[in-house]
Amino acid sequence: ADGMAADGGPDCDIDARQMKERLRSCIAKLPDNLREVIVLRDLGDLSYDQVAKIVGITPATARVYRCKAVHLLAAWMKK
């Protein structure tokens, strides 16, 4: 009775597309080192060990970079 379709309806599809586009835009603003790690780890679904080898850093540094990237993205997405 709240006016929303049970399946989310077309408005939810538009919101999801807008959110994805906003996230892409925010990822593009990240410093190169942070962007590279978050893209490989989260979008590429690679392990921290794999990311570290590709980027030429330690797995611990990859974790730190991802953490920094997530915090920046969360702050930017709230704006």
Structure tokens at 42: 């989260």
pLDDT in the model for residue 52: 98
pLDDT value at 53 more than 80: yes
pLDDT in the model for residue 48: 98
Specify burial of residue 52 (Cβ count, 10 A radius: 0-12, 13-18, 19+): buried
pLDDT tens, position by position, 1-20? 444 445 556 677 778 899 89
Type of residue numbered 17 = R
Q: Alpha-carbon distance 50 to 13, whole Å?
A: 34
pLDDT tens, position by position, 55-75? 999 999 999 999 999 999 999
Q: Alpha-carbon distance 27 to 2, whole Å?
A: 34
What are the chain's domains?
31-79 (1.10.10)
